[in-house]
Structure formats: C-alpha cells, structure tokens
Amino acid sequence: MKTEIQLSRKTATWIIVTLLLSCFLGVASVKAQAADPHTVAVWHLDEVLPDGHREITPDATGQNPGILIHAPTAPALVEGKFGKTMRMTLTSATFAIMSGVATDSQIASIWKMANRYLRDKKLKGFHLNTNFGAEQHSLGRAFSFSYGDKENGAFFNHMAVMFAYALYSRGFVKEGFEALNSIYKMAQDSATSKIYPCLPEYFNSEGQGMYCYLTGSASWFVLTLLTQACGIRGEYGNLIIEPKLTSQQFQGGKEFSVATNFADKRIEVCFLNPPKKDYPDYTIQSLCLNGQIIEANLKRRRSIIMRSQFLELAKMPVNKILVALD
C-alpha cells in the first residue's frame, strides 16, 4: 500500500525557507561562540566549562547539568595490589600481548596471573576483570554495574576471544586453545547458559548467556579458529598455511579439515596427522592442491602457496588442499 502526501506550492516554499533559516542561525551561533577566547569547546547551543577534573555541560536552559568525567590530572594506578585486593583486567593483558609489547616471559606471567585472578573456578571462563569493590568513575560506566554483569567482571566473550587470538599469534598455542575452548564449553552448556548453543555478548556470573544478537565475538571466534588455529590466511595476496592445531582438536582421529574461501575460490584444507602428534611436535611435510604436489620434504611450520600458482591449479568448484604433518 502506498501513501501519497501532496503539498501546495506555498506550503512547500515555507518549509524550505524555514529549514534554510534554521541552518543559517545554527551556523551563526556556533561561529559566534567559537570567537569567544574563553570557550574551551563548542557544541551546538552548548559550551563545556572546565571544573577541576570534571567538565560540567549545562543544557540549553542552564539547568540539569550533565557531568563528563575524564582521567584525573595525575596518573593513577588502575591494576595491581590494593590492600589485600588484587586488581586485574583482561583487556590490558590482551593488548599487551597482541601489540607485541609483552615479552615471552611476560606473556607466561600474564597467563599465570589470568588463571589465578580472572579464571572462574567453577565455570572455567575468564572474567573481564577482578572485583574492584567500588565504582571507578574515572574508568567509565562499566564499574557502575554489579560485579559479574556486563562490562564489570562478566565473561565478556569479545575480550576473551581476543585474548585467545593474542596468545595464538604470539606462539602460545596451548594457552590460546584453552582460552578459546573455555568459551566453547560455556556456550555448549545450555543447562547453565539457558540459551541454545551460540556465542552471546557475555555470560553473567551465573553462566547465563546474555544478548545473543548483540556480539562481535562470533566473527572474532571464527577469525581466530581459521587464521590462527588452522593457520589459513592471506598475506600480500598469497595463501599462508601455518597450522597450530592441538591433538585435542583432532579428537583422536588422524584428520582435521576446514572449508573457506580464498581468491574467490572455494577451498577445503585437510590436515593429515597420522602420528597424532601435538603442537609443536609436528611440521608440514608436504602440500598438494587438487592432486598436484606443490611442495614436498618441507619440514617447516609455515608454507606459502603463491597466488599465481594457486589460481593456475584451483579450477574445481571445491579445491582440495592436503597438508601432511609429521
């Protein structure tokens, strides 16, 4: 059903003139305020005034001021020992690893501390932070939630899966798998999570899955599993194969396969592990694409299939790559 609205020419003209006049007055108002040398920042019909480390932003009538709280002028320690309480966040641990700042020995210490202070003894997942015990206004709204909910100490899957990705990317494969698997186990436990198996935004302190359709975690989970655990990813247009699969992921079998796309081609990569070796005890021995041997006697952890060679051989609807491990 279509609804048509007809306006007279006079009415339409008045609407256009009114809109243009509103835009002109709004721009003029902003320019006039910007010329004031005492103005710190300009919003539309508003002004931000400094008041210590708080910035008070009144509304257009000067009433009902909102309070914007930013960091104190002096740096304050967020994590560490505060009396008898240890404060730690998974966020700082993750990005210290992912950025490459943390050394291998520091990563080992971070993993140990995360297991001690952030990992739940019962549910086995990683909390986003320890219980700080009070609101932390300078850190934002997160600490206004009760501990174990949302960004205050819940099992926040987006950060947990990024933690796994960071560990994998730095070569801490067993630790990365353990972090990734902790999410999978909580998602599979429908009796506790009270949801169908999926990856929600977070699990609360009771293990209940929350906000199943509001999450960036699922894409990060697939990204981590495909590009880090399976080690299948593009690099400068070429196909990289660098498996970091644990013996648990083979589930007692000799093969592990995954299907994905590369260079607009459908591929199925099958990892053959007859000796059932665990990472890092195996290396890539040979690569075959659609029955054609690409490389043999490699004995290395990482292999590259050049794009030109891949496109020359990848002519099937599903192109099969066999990766022999030993």
Quote the pLDDT of residue 213: 77
Q: Which range, 37-41, 94-98, 196-200, has the best average confidence (pLDDT)?
A: 94-98
- Of the pLDDT bands very low, low, confident and very high (cuts 50, 70, 90), residue 115 is very high
Q: Which two tokens stand for residue 47?
A: 């002004």
Q: Are residues 216 and 235 in the same domain?
A: no
Residues 244 and 211 in one domain: no
pLDDT at position 136 is 78
H/E stretch holding 47:
strand 46-47
143 pLDDT exceeds 90? no
Helix (H) or strand (E) holding 233: strand 232-235
Q: Which residues pair with 321 in a beta bridge?
A: 269, 289
> What is the domain count for the chain?
3
Determine the pLDDT at residue 24. Answer: 45
For residue 116, the enclosing domain spans 87-222
109 and 205 housed in the same domain: yes
The predicted pLDDT at position 301 comes to 93
Smallest CA-to-CA distance from 268 within 281, 255, 279 is with: 255
Query: Do 148 and 43 sit in the same domain of this protein?
Result: no
pLDDT of residue 28: 41
β-strands 232-235, 292-300 pairing: unpaired
Helix, strand, or coil here: 319? strand
164, 235: one domain? no
**149 closest CA partner among 218, 210, 214:** 210
58 domain residue, yes or no: yes
**206 within domain boundaries:** yes
What is the tens place of the pLDDT at every residue in 181-230? Answer: 999 999 999 999 999 988 999 999 999 999 887 777 888 999 999 999 99
Higher-confidence position of 233 and 138: 233
104/211 same-domain check? yes
The answer to which of 2-16, 270-284, 292-306, 308-322 has the lowest mean pLDDT is: 2-16
The CATH number given to whatever domain includes residue 250 is 2.60.420.10
Lowest-pLDDT choice from 4-8, 89-93, 136-140: 4-8
Report yes or no on 204 lying in a domain.
yes
In a domain, 79, yes or no: no
Q: Write out the two tokens for 308.
A: 């030109």
pLDDT, one tens digit per residue, over 256-304 is 999 999 999 999 999 999 999 999 999 999 999 999 999 888 889 999 9
**The two structure tokens encoding residue 106:** 């520091």
The answer on 96 and 38 residing in a single domain is no
How do residues 54-81 score in pLDDT, each as one tens digit? Answer: 444 555 555 544 444 455 556 677 888 8
Pick the last residue of a domain from 189, 222, 255. Answer: 222
Q: Which residue has the higher pLDDT, 297 or 33?
A: 297
Query: Following DSSP, what letter does each residue of 248-271 receive, concatenated?
Result: GGGTTSSEEEEEEEETTEEEEEEE
Q: Is there a single domain that holds both residue 42 and residue 117?
A: no
Assess if residue 74 is contained within a domain: no
pLDDT of amino acid 41: 39
Q: Give percent of the chain with pLDDT exceeding 90.
A: 60
- What is the end-to-end Cα distance of the chain in Å, rounded? 66
Residue 215: inside a domain: yes
Q: Are 201 and 217 in contact (CB under 8 A)?
A: yes
**Phi, psi values for residue 97, rounded to 5°:** -75, -50
- Weakest mean pLDDT among 83-92, 160-169, 179-188, 259-268: 83-92
CA dihedral 192, 197, 203, 204 (to 10 degrees): -30
- Are 97 and 62 in the same domain? no
**Both tokens of residue 222?**
């697939």
Query: According to the per-residue pLDDT averaged within each range, which of 57-66, 79-88, 150-159, 163-172 is highest?
Result: 163-172
Classify residue 207: in a domain, yes or no: yes
State the average pLDDT over residues 7-33: 48
Contacts for 301 with CB less than 8 Å, ≥ 6 apart: 242, 243, 280, 283, 284
* Mean pLDDT across 88-95: 94
Residue 27: inside a domain, yes or no?
Answer: yes
What mean pLDDT, rounded, does the chain reach? Answer: 82
Q: What is the pLDDT of residue 63?
A: 53
> Which residue did the predictor score with more confidence, 127 or 253?
127
CA angle 281, 285, 290 (to 5 degrees): 135
Regarding whether 253 and 216 lie in a shared domain, the answer is no
- Per-residue pLDDT band at 13 (split at 50, 70, 90): low
Cα distances from 136 to residues 86, 178, 249, 296, 317, in angstroms, run 15, 31, 41, 58, 56
Q: Which of 232, 230, 249, 250 lies closest to 240 in space, CA to CA?
A: 232
Answer yes or no: do 92 and 180 share one domain.
Answer: yes
Domain end among 222, 239, 258? 222
Confidence (pLDDT) at 137: 72
Q: What is the pLDDT of residue 54?
A: 47
Q: Of the given ranges (11-15, 143-147, 167-171, 273-277), which has the lowest mean pLDDT?
A: 11-15
Same domain, residue pair 165 and 268: no
Domain final position from 188, 203, 222? 222
